Structure 1
Amino acid sequence: MKFLPLLIVFFSTLFAGDNAVSEGYQPGDKATDFKLKSVDGKMYSMADYKDAKGFIVVFTCNTCPFAVKYEDRINAIAKKYKKQGYVLLAINPNDPAVQPADTYDLMQDKAKEKGFVFPYLVDEGQKIYPQYGATKTPHVFLLDKNLVVKYIGAIDDNSDDASAVKEKYLENAIAALDKGSDPSPAQTKAIGCSIKAKKKV
């Protein structure tokens, strides 16, 4: 029995560590705005869009195979929902020193090649993605016009095949937001590559 207190301390520490890992926003939190440079050389923030009904913030990149599979879908979503008043902003959170194919110049090439209709932004200094709690590329955050987080997670339920998608999580969440309802589910698991963080010295 003398080991029981030690076990209690061990498991308490273990679960406390798990809780500490889950940082970033949860549905219902208010997000902080940002001001980031896009591939067109201009700075963008959500405050620039006074009449927006909401914001689709997508953490993505040039290189992750999952992000590449979603490029056309993200572009289509941006086109579709721009007409309905929603602004899509894509942010590349990867450190180009860790992932050389995610440099600003190569982001410009990617945006031109794919005909991106949305700002493709650089998270310089990797300050924004930790605030949001993004862990994958792609990782989506749907915000209402007041920057309240309404949905977090995956775009849909099939990263491999757009034609085989059964659940369009993001689009369903936008539809709920349009009706004044809270999306259900409000959170799904993002499927993608880990964000390439700057190596600590």
Structure 2
Amino acid sequence: MKTLKLLSVVVFVFALSSFTSKTIINGYNVGDKATDFSLENIDGKMVSLSDYTEAKGFIITFTCNTCPYAVAYEDRIEALNKKYAPKGFPVIAIMPNNPEVKPGDNMEAMQRRAKEKGFTFPYLMDKGQEIYPQYGATKTPHIYVLEKTTNGNEVKYIGAIDDNYKNADAVKEKYVENAVDALLNGKDIKVKETRAIGCTIKV
């Protein structure tokens, strides 16, 4: 009887691990090459990194409508795009949550939010949740700064936007800005990885 119970527990744990395998993420490390994607934008068009022929790199931002951390950073993400898109590093925002779990993150809600906030960057849906596991994103927001090279889009920075999600005026370290500025000036990035602060991605 004990053996049967033990076997049942083992089977249950194995089934659970299989069910949650999408949440067990390795993803990219700094220095890895990020593969391209084709995701639907809020305007119905498909967007890929290869569309940006003149870009020097990208600020890939996994974000959403429903996470208070993501909402707190919306204005800062918009500011990043306005500052760096003209310099060759546009923001590409990707909504990674399962809209069946978070209806407030469905395409219609994304469209409304983008219009309300006046987003000037693409806001893409990771339909099928295939892209965020490739990157290794676990939070919203979670940032990946990529640099376009002859060998592909190289991951140069991973983590948080800055060191204070509560108050933009109290920020001391602007991680993403520092990383992009270093790349634009041909310098080494001093802080290449930080811990992303936000809500867990809903699967």
TM range (shorter): 0.7 to 0.9
Match of 2:108 in 1: 105
Alignment TM-score, normalising by the size of structure 2: 0.85
Letter in 2 for 1:119: P
Aligned to 1:148: 154
Aligned position for 1:173: 179
Query: Residue 158 of structure 1 corresponds to which residue in structure 2?
Result: 164
Q: Deviations over 1:154-184 (max 9, x none)?
A: 0000000000000000000001111223312
Q: Percent identity?
A: 62
Cα RMSD between the aligned structures? 0.9
Residue type of the partner of 2:107? Y
Stretches of structure 2 lacking an aligned partner (at least 5 in a row): 1-23
Note if 1:194 corresponds to 2:197: no
- Would you say how many aligned residue pairs link Structure 1 and Structure 2? 177
Instruction: Give 1:53's match in structure 2, choosing from 49, 56, 59.
Output: 56
Structure-1 separation of matches of 2:38 and 2:25: 25
> SS of the residue aligned with 2:66?
coil
> Structure 1 length normalisation: TM-score?
0.86
Instruction: Identify the match of residue 86 of structure 2 among 83, 87, 90.
Output: 83
Q: Is the 8 A contact 1:139 1:153 kept in 2?
A: yes
Question: In structure 2, what is the equivalent of residue 184 of structure 1?
Answer: 190
Query: Which portions of structure 1, spanning 4 or more consecutive aligned residues, are displaced by more than 4 angstroms?
Result: none
SS at match of 1:143: strand
CA distance in 2, matches of 1:41, 1:106: 14
Gaps of at least 5 residues in structure 1 are: 1-20
Give CA-to-partner distance per residue, 1:27-82, whole Å, 9 cap, x none.
00000000100101111011001110110000000000000000011001101111
Query: Aligned letter for 1:33?
Result: D
C-alpha contact (below 8 Å) 1:29/1:148 kept by paired residues: yes
1:148 is paired with a residue of what secondary structure? strand
CA–CA distance in 2 between the matches of 1:178 and 1:80?
12
